[in-house]
Amino acid sequence: MQDRGGKAAPGSPAGAGEAAAAAGAQNSVHMNGHTVTQNGHAPTTAATTTTSPTQQIDSRAPNPGTASTAVPREQWGGKYEFLLSCIGYCVGLGNVWRFPYLCYRNGGGVFLIPYFIMLLVTGVPLFLMELSLGQYGAAGPITVWKCCPLLKGIGIGMLCVSMLVCLYYNVIIAWTFYYLGSSLQSPLPWSCDHVANAAICGNGTSGNSSAGKPLSPTEIFWNERVLGVVHSEGLHDPGPVRWSLALCLLVAWVIIFLCMLKGIRSSGKVVYVTATFPYFVLIVLIIRGATLEGSLQGVAFYLTPDWGRLANAQVWNDAASQIFYSLGIGVGGLLSMASYNKFDNNVIRDTLVITTGNCCTSFFAGFAIFSILGHMAWRKGVPVGEVADTGPGLAFVAYPEALALLPGSVFWSIMFFVMLFMLGVDTLFGNMEGITTAVLDEFPHLRANTLHKSMFLGALCFGFYLMGLLLVTDGGIYWFTLIDSFSTSFGLIIITLFMCLGISFFYGVNQFCQDIIDMISHCPRWCTKVLLYFKACWVFFTPFLLLFILSYIFIEMYNTSLHYGSYVYPRWGKALGVCMGATCCLQILIWAIVAISKETGTLKDRFQKAIRPLNSWRANTSNSSRRVEEHMEPERVEGPFTVTLTDMDYNAMTWEEGSQA
């Protein structure tokens, strides 16, 4: 393993041996024009190593705190483990409870047009960028920015977003556990067959709603038994912890801890079950739904096109936001998982497979959802639009109510909530991997010691559990909605925009494409042609669309209020959410200032030095090493005096050594 300067990387066995040899040598001279050691101290280099006319490698020594240790970096047990992990990470709850709803709300089948355009212009290029960056650098979201130290704040921002997502995402798994346990009863506790709901289902007036419409047994179960939101007045009144949910949340974090205890060696095996089982359940639900009365009505409602919706900017914004929501771009999970790949893994192939699989899953999940919702609408004699919902309302109110109407409702309910559990766990694996990889790469001694690594993971999970207790109080759903609304909002778009611009214009889009070609050692002709398309997206189309999405988010955020049900969030609550998003993206500015302040010279010189890759920015294969060596220039070393070695000096010293012998 070699770094971009052609020298052995600190993390390789060769690098460790050379470091030891260098430490023991004093007043030594290496004759190939590379290094002079004086008085036992490593020299300071005054020149930089060049890899191309437009791309230079900074010869500054890497920060010891971020250097790899001699402990070899883990790798996936096989390419299928990586593919399944990425598919499981991307195919999550958003595919089930968000995409179908957006599809019917935004013109049915017409929504697929802006969705596919946004997928091709923003989703796939950014997905490939994140995978390639992680695989080439073999580092987490923070350390990988050795390729451009000025942008280290992007990695810090990704870490902040990922922490917010982990904080609330496991609460969904806790809700799933609660429903799963409740599904073991027959009849289901939210069905009309249950004795406690006889009065409600009999006259339809026992449940009260602030909207004037009677609540169904499912809504009462969700609001009173699960959330306890009826006992809270709002964001300012969280109330006591609901200990039944707190126990479910604890179990959820224990499962995450155990599955990730041995890193990708354990989570890579778990995904064989968690990533494939949801597909089995979706297929079974589609088959079951096709046999129900009213299912075709639901599917027609899902797909009926409304061509006039294409002129609405909201439709295009929803399509773009769904791409980010479902693919997990900009959170650091993809980058971290790709960092455990072999250097020559075909990232373009993986990108096309994963993004296509995710898109198809979202589309076909709609058939499973709306066929059964159509049956419920037929049973109740109401339009499908009245039973359709999005977010937790679909997963924990509308769909359970529909399942309760089916013969064998207990079985179908168990299958559905096990599927939700699998979808949630896979996505949480990716987000947690982004956090742990970032920290372990910054503090390599944790990776070197198994006990310390386990203690860190345990402390991380326990810390998230303690913070998550706020979200399982009586008013926890208000805090859940706040974090959900702002954690992946404008802050994530800004982080992704700077990642795209930084790689394209600071690191260099040509250099980045060359790095991808180096990784795909036998890049076929179609591969290089596809890269031309991606290059055009990274430089022009993707930043333009990200700016459009960002502008629309700010306009919508200013003009609309945040609410959950009939509760409208106060200004201070909305301001708190804005601060969450701002904290994530402001890391870019803060760490850019830090990087520039560490350099010397004029402001222009500092900036130019801060965008140069460090020597530890690695190249793993012999092909890449040869490419680096072809462009290398001899390093000039500055000490108390400057030594410039030539072939004549080398011959003279050889002659002197021979005469002394």
Provide CB contacts within 8 A for 570, sequence distance 6+. Answer: 234, 235, 236
**Confidence label for 512 from pLDDT (cuts 50, 70 and 90):** very high
Q: What is the pLDDT of residue 215?
A: 78
Residue 63 · residue 442 · CB < 8 Å? no
Range with lowest mean pLDDT among 113-117, 391-395, 545-549: 391-395
Residue 478 · residue 564 · CB < 8 Å? yes
Q: What distances in angstroms separate CA 422 from CA 279, 288, 434, one per listed residue?
A: 10, 20, 19
**Confidence label for 156 from pLDDT (cuts 50, 70 and 90):** very high
Q: What is the pLDDT of residue 202?
A: 66
* pLDDT mean over 502-515: 93
DSSP assigned state of 328: T
* pLDDT mean over 159-174: 93
Range with lowest mean pLDDT among 6-10, 222-226, 399-403: 6-10
**Confidence label for 145 from pLDDT (cuts 50, 70 and 90):** very high
What is the C-alpha radius of gyration for the chain, rounded to an integer number of angstroms? 28
Is 358 assigned a ligand-binding role in the annotation? yes
* pLDDT mean over 387-413: 86
Alpha helices in 148-221 (DSSP H): 152-182, 198-203, 217-220
Is the pLDDT higher at 7 or at 263? 263
Q: What is the pLDDT of residue 521?
A: 75
Q: CA–CA separation, 76 vs 85, rounded Å?
A: 10
Range with lowest mean pLDDT among 7-21, 133-147, 200-214, 354-368: 7-21
Please check the confidence at residue 181 and state whether its pLDDT lies above 90.
yes
* pLDDT mean over 241-254: 95
Q: What is the pLDDT of residue 102?
A: 85
The token pair that represents 622 in the structure block: 């012999």
* pLDDT mean over 383-397: 80
* pLDDT mean over 448-467: 92
Read out DSSP for 25-54? --S-B-TTSS-B-BTTBPPEE-S-EEEETT
pTM: 0.81
Is the Cα torsion angle 299, 300, 303, 308 positive or negative in sign?
Answer: negative
Q: What is the pLDDT of residue 213?
A: 61
Is the Cα torsion angle 630, 348, 532, 617 positive or negative in sign?
Answer: negative
Is 299 assigned a ligand-binding role in the annotation? no
Read out DSSP for 236-300? T---SB-HHHHHHHHHHHHHHHHHHTTTHHHHHHHHHHHTTHHHHHHHHHHHHHHTSTTHHHHHH
The token pair that represents 593 in the structure block: 């200032």
The token pair that represents 513 in the structure block: 């494409």
Please check the confidence at residue 367 and state whether its pLDDT lies above 50.
yes
Q: CA–CA separation, 479 vs 569, rounded Å?
A: 10
The token pair that represents 456 in the structure block: 């860190």
* pLDDT mean over 380-407: 84
Q: What is the pLDDT of residue 71?
A: 64
**Confidence label for 203 from pLDDT (cuts 50, 70 and 90):** low
Is 441 assigned a ligand-binding role in the annotation? no
Q: CA–CA separation, 311 vs 110, rounded Å?
A: 11
SS3 assignment, position 626: helix
Is 345 assigned a ligand-binding role in the annotation? no
Q: What is the pLDDT of residue 618?
A: 59
Q: CA–CA separation, 157 vs 142, rounded Å?
A: 9
Where does residue 217 rank: exposed (0-12), middle (13-18), buried (19+ CB within 10 A)? Answer: buried
User: pLDDT tens-digit profile of 64-75?
Assistant: 444 434 467 788
Provide CB contacts within 8 A for 641, sequence distance 6+. Answer: none
Is 318 assigned a ligand-binding role in the annotation? no
Range with lowest mean pLDDT among 49-53, 142-146, 255-259, 308-312: 49-53
User: pLDDT tens-digit profile of 95-134?
Assistant: 888 888 888 888 888 888 999 999 999 999 999 999 999 9
* Whole-number percent of the chain with pLDDT over 70: 80
Please state, as a whole number, how many other Cβ atoms lie within 10 Å of the Cβ of residue 655. 10
Q: Residue ranges of the domains in the chain? A: 2-62+614-660, 79-592
The token pair that represents 279 in the structure block: 């597909």
Please provide the average confidence, as pLDDT, over all residues in the chain.
80
DSSP assigned state of 74: P
| Backbone φ and ψ of 144, nearest 5° | -65, -20
Is 65 assigned a ligand-binding role in the annotation? no
What's the CATH class of domain 79-592? mainly alpha
Is 91 assigned a ligand-binding role in the annotation? yes
* pLDDT mean over 381-388: 81
Please check the confidence at residue 644 and state whether its pLDDT lies above 60.
no
Q: What distances in angstroms separate CA 68 from CA 229, 612, 619, 625, one per listed residue?
A: 48, 20, 14, 19
SS3 assignment, position 158: helix
**Length reported for the chain:** 661
* pLDDT mean over 587-591: 95
